[in-house]
């Protein structure tokens, strides 16, 4: 008797080996070995055409062409919290389950937020580059004087959520006053527990030494921070974005940085990532990181295993625990 053919799973970039080994017990697994570059559309289509299940990461754009590359695609297993950049409507029409992961990146994202604050305020990356070039201006030189973090005011836009509160906990350790604004104010008891003071967005921008963004990207929040908002900030203030790049009007930010309307910015996310506006590269008052919010080995391993859990459920004929489009299983959609 012929051996039962295993389902084919394609992984768009390397993930934790322990998760891959679990998959290999039940599937033929192929993984793009390049961890430095997002797979191009043609290559992604070619891989999907030969696979039953697509295991995709945050920057993979799974559009109609990618889904259409295989009429027998059985599942799109994403290592994202929401299926942005996935054609959910087409997947629904074809009854293809899309799975995601739960919001387990809170603490890691809050960590990178504080890392950006410290790096841009204390000019850490500038100092690192200077030392590597053989310069040492002296321990009391004014050449790399930066800005104090301890005791300053941080304003959290969308700060009532889990990541905003995690940043607030860290900020309190630096003796910072924490303001927040969001479309919905949290309860007074939650504010007191988190050490948050609610103000209007205009007040937050005008009073904060560090403005940190934590809103989700929606049509109504695209370019939430633009010319008007940047003009309200102090010339000594810094903008920090670990949420989504589209929240910031990058052209307005570049102008603000070039003309010293604000002191600097720390960005982990970009409007058109993985493509970065090259105007940022000439600005020394910026720290740029390539979306490192969840880039912690133990967290990424946990995330990969959640994706594998979803895949194994589908292969066993069950509904995945983190299925985004559960409606495809309703009686009216059979």
Q: Which residues are catalytic?
A: 244, 273, 291
Closest CA relative to residue 299, chosen from 64, 107, 30:
107
3-class secondary structure, 11: strand
3-class secondary structure, 206: helix
Count of all residues that appear for the chain in the document: 334
Q: How far apart (Å, rounded) are the C-alpha atoms in residues 56 and 44?
A: 10
Q: How far apart (Å, rounded) are the C-alpha atoms in residues 84 and 219?
A: 13
Q: Which residues pair with 240 in a beta bridge?
A: 212, 266
111 Cβ contact partners less than 8 Å away, ≥ 6 residues apart: 170, 296
Closest CA relative to residue 40, chosen from 16, 64, 20, 66:
66
E strands, the chain, are 8-11, 28-31, 53-56, 75-78, 98-99, 153-157, 177-181, 197-198, 210-213, 238-241, 264-267, 286-288
Residue for token pair 């300053």: 152
**Burial class of residue 132 (count of CB atoms within 10 Å of its CB; 0-12, 13-18, 19+):** exposed
Q: How far apart (Å, rounded) are the C-alpha atoms in residues 279 and 261?
A: 16
3-class secondary structure, 225: strand
299 Cβ contact partners less than 8 Å away, ≥ 6 residues apart: 104, 105, 108
Closest CA relative to residue 206, chosen from 240, 177, 236, 233:
233
Q: Kindly state the DSSP code that residue 158 receives in the 8-state scheme.
A: T
């Amino acid at each position: 008797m012929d051996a039962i053919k295993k389902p084919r799973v394609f992984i768009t970039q390397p993930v934790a080996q322990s998760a891959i080994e679990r998959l290999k017990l039940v599937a033929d697994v192929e993984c793009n070995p390049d961890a430095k570059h997002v797979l191009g559309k043609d290559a992604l289509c070619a891989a999907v055409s030969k696979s039953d299940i697509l295991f995709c990461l945050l920057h993979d754009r799974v559009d109609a062409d990618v889904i259409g590359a295989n009429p027998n695609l059985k599942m799109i297993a994403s290592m994202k919290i929401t299926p942005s950049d996935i054609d959910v409507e087409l997947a629904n029409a074809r009854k293809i389950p899309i799975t995601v992961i739960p919001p387990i990146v809170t603490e890691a994202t809050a960590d990178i937020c504080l890392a950006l604050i410290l790096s841009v305020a204390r000019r850490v990356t500038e100092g690192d580059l200077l030392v590597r070039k053989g310069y040492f201006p002296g321990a009391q030189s004014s050449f790399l004087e930066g800005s104090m973090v301890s005791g300053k005011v941080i304003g959290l836009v969308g700060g009532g959520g889990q990541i905003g509160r995690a940043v607030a906990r860290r900020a309190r350790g630096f003796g910072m006053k924490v303001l927040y604004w969001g479309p919905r104010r949290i309860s007074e008891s939650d504010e007191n527990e988190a050490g948050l003071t609610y103000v209007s967005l205009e007040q937050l921008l005008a009073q904060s030494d560090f403005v940190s963004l934590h809103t989700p990207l929606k049509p109504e929040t695209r370019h939430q921070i633009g010319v008007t908002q940047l003009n309200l900030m102090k010339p000594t203030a810094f903008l920090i974005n670990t949420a989504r790049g589209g929240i910031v009007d990058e052209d307005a930010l570049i102008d603000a940085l070039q003309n010293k309307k604000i002191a600097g910015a720390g960005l982990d996310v970009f409007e058109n990532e993985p493509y970065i506006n090259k105007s940022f590269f000439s600005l020394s008052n910026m720290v740029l990181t390539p979306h490192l919010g969840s880039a912690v080995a133990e967290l990424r391993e946990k995330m990969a295993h959640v994706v594998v859990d979803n895949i194994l459920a589908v292969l066993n004929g069950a509904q995945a625990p983190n299925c985004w489009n559960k409606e495809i299983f309703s009686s009216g959609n059979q």
